[in-house]
Amino acid sequence: MITTFTNARLINPETGTDEIGSLTIDGGVITALNGSEAGQVIDCGGKCLAPGIVDLGVKIGEPGERHKESFRTAGAAAAAGGVTTMVIRPDTTPAVDTPETLEFVTRRAGRTAPVNVHSMAALTKGREGREMVEVGFLRDAGAVAFTDCDHVVENPKTFARAMTYAKSLGALVIAHPQDPTLSKGAAVTSGKFASLRGLPAVSPMAERMGLERDMALVEMTGVAYHADSLSTATALPVLARAKDAGLDVTAGVNIHHLTLNELDVGDYRTFFKLKPPLRSEDDRLAMVAAVADGLIDVISSMHTPQDEESKRLPFEEAASGAVALETLLPAAMRLVHAELIDLPTLWRAMSANPARRLGLPGGRLAEGAPADLVLFDPDAPFVLDRFALQSKSKNTPFDGARMEGRVLGTWVAGTRVHG
């Protein structure tokens, strides 16, 4: 079916443009930009039309924790949030570390999620950092990247071997840079706030130490590497040096580290307990600047559903993580409205770059690209009610927050899945 979107603000991350125009789709792909009107016409009324968000690092509760999130609920949340591709994490119970579990996940996703789902696999068995997984089989089964998520592979020898092996297969390794002994048991970032609240804290230096080590191993092995969630200013020069040296390295930041800081934890509010923990305002601003100038490549939601029970605990005992599929876009709009970043640059980080890094076809507004689109009003204000979220878990730090930016419609392969 042919559909033409007219009178749309086309946000094009590849060309860096933000202009009124029209876009035509047919058979699940984009067939024309600013072509003639054909088929069904959708007047966008001057609202923004952009490639759907490619969210790198979504946690689904399947297998193991379906009471927290299922493919159906996460898919609905993604569609409502303008996320057309979820790249899901293997930190499930059990971990996605065999072709069989990957096949289960792929089957469940295909059956119930209305958006594209690509799966990452663990890098080591059980994410325990001892033996590498069957990288080859898992790649054949569709794993787009290999990561132990927030578990750091502590033994550099094991990590280097896994990297070398992955490199030979052209596989992307994603890691969470952190010095695991320094950060053990920490709930917040060390500093005045942590001292005042008396919470166990980790120095921001732990992230830099983790990244320094990983960069040395990348230099040694030549693997393609992505740091999934940098959050501190002190780690940025390390990343810049590695990129300047020509290493195949990219890095991401989580939306919460761009929009919140450690003080938001306030009176021990566990919905603000994240991993890595929220940082200082200086760190937040440094991360925003790094996204704006392209040093940081990817913005993710790091969607981590947690049920009420795992959050209704003293801060130290409470689980980490926040749901964010639906709040990613309006939270990111805060950066746009604060004039820290423009829309095409934002979409480069939320759509084009993650797609390119993982070798996925989305993230582009061009002829032949998939018709994965999000239509949104960047200025529409609303107050977030966590119980109105589609996710099964409601652990958002933005409950009751005033936000701007509403998704009006989401299309996946030309089919409208939201709005």
Partner 1 sequence: MDEAPRAAYTRAKTHPEAPMTFRQRHLLGIEPLHPTEITSVLDLADRYVGLNRQTVKRSKALKGLTQINMFFENSTRTQASFEIAGKRLGADVMNMAMQASSIKKGETLIDTALTLNAMHPDLLVVRHPHSGAVNLLAEKVNCAVLNAGDGKHEHPTQALLDALTIRREKGRLHRLTIAICGDIAHSRVARSNLILLGKMENRVRLVGPPTLMPSQIDQFGVEVYHDMEEGLKDADVVMMLRLQRERMDGGFIPSEREYYHRYGLDAAKLAHAKDDAIVMHPGPMNRGVEIDGTIADDINRSVIQEQVEMGVAVRMAAMDLLARNLREAAGSESVMV
When binding is defined by CB under 8 A, the residue of 192, 241, 337, 402 that contacts partner 1 is 192
Rounded to whole angstroms, how far apart are CA atoms 342 and 333?
A: 9
Judged on CB neighbours under 10 Å (0-12, 13-18, 19+), 412 is buried
Does 130 bind partner 1 (CB under 8 A)? Our answer is: no
Nearer Cβ to partner 1 (192/402): 192
Nearer Cβ to partner 1 (244/267): 267
Which residues on neighbouring strands pair with residue 404, listed in sequence order? 381
Does 197 bind partner 1 (CB under 8 A)? Our answer is: yes
Residue 189 CB, shortest distance to partner 1, in Å, is: 9
Nearer Cβ to partner 1 (166/199): 199
Site for partner 1 in 269-298 (CB under 8 A): none
Site for partner 1 in 16-75 (CB under 8 A): none
Nearer Cβ to partner 1 (55/179): 179
| H/E run at residue 255 | helix 255-259
Rounded to whole angstroms, how far apart are CA atoms 135 and 165?
A: 8
With residues binned 3-state (H G I as helix, E B as strand, rest as coil), the percentages for the chain, rounded to 5, are: 35, 25, 40
Residue 309 CB, shortest distance to partner 1, in Å, is: 7
Does 195 bind partner 1 (CB under 8 A)? Our answer is: yes
Stretch touching partner 1 by CB under 8 A, among 139-147, 195-203, 221-229, 328-336: 195-203
Tokens at 276, concatenated = 């890595």
Give, rounded to a whole angstrom, the gap between the first and last alpha carbons of the chain.
Answer: 18
Helix axes 281-292, 236-244, angle to 10 degrees: 20
Helix axes 205-221, 156-168, angle to 10 degrees: 50
- CB count in 10 Å sphere of residue 39: 13
Rounded to whole angstroms, how far apart are CA atoms 8 and 4?
A: 10
Closest CA to 59 of 142, 150, 123: 150
Q: Quick check: bond before 276 cis, omega within 30?
A: yes
Stretch touching partner 1 by CB under 8 A, among 140-148, 164-172, 188-196, 337-345: 188-196
Nearer Cβ to partner 1 (142/191): 191
Residue with tokens 């095409």: 344
Does 232 bind partner 1 (CB under 8 A)? Our answer is: no
When binding is defined by CB under 8 A, the residue of 71, 165, 271, 315 that contacts partner 1 is 315
| H/E run at residue 339 | none
When binding is defined by CB under 8 A, the residue of 107, 184, 312, 337 that contacts partner 1 is 312
Stretch touching partner 1 by CB under 8 A, among 30-38, 154-162, 197-205, 218-226: 197-205
Does 231 bind partner 1 (CB under 8 A)? Our answer is: no
Residue 312 CB, shortest distance to partner 1, in Å, is: 5
Scanning 15-140, the segments in alpha helix (DSSP H) are 71-80, 99-112, 135-140
When binding is defined by CB under 8 A, the residue of 140, 282, 309, 385 that contacts partner 1 is 309
Q: How many residues bind partner 1 (CB under 8 A)?
A: 20
Rounded to whole angstroms, how far apart are CA atoms 162 and 295?
A: 26
Does 180 bind partner 1 (CB under 8 A)? Our answer is: no
Compose the 200-219 pattern: x for residues touching partner 1 by CB under 8 A, - for all others. -x-x----------------
Rounded to whole angstroms, how far apart are CA atoms 59 and 308?
A: 17
Nearer Cβ to partner 1 (237/266): 266
Judged on CB neighbours under 10 Å (0-12, 13-18, 19+), 124 is buried
When binding is defined by CB under 8 A, the residue of 93, 244, 267, 368 that contacts partner 1 is 267
When binding is defined by CB under 8 A, the residue of 198, 246, 368, 400 that contacts partner 1 is 198
Does 194 bind partner 1 (CB under 8 A)? Our answer is: yes
Nearer Cβ to partner 1 (213/311): 311
Nearer Cβ to partner 1 (149/233): 233
When binding is defined by CB under 8 A, the residue of 31, 98, 116, 190 that contacts partner 1 is 190
3-state secondary structure (DSSP) of residue 183: helix
Nearer Cβ to partner 1 (119/190): 190
Closest CA to 79 of 388, 391, 377: 391
Where does this chain bind partner 1 (CB under 8 A)?
A: 190-192, 194-199, 201, 203, 267-268, 309, 312-317
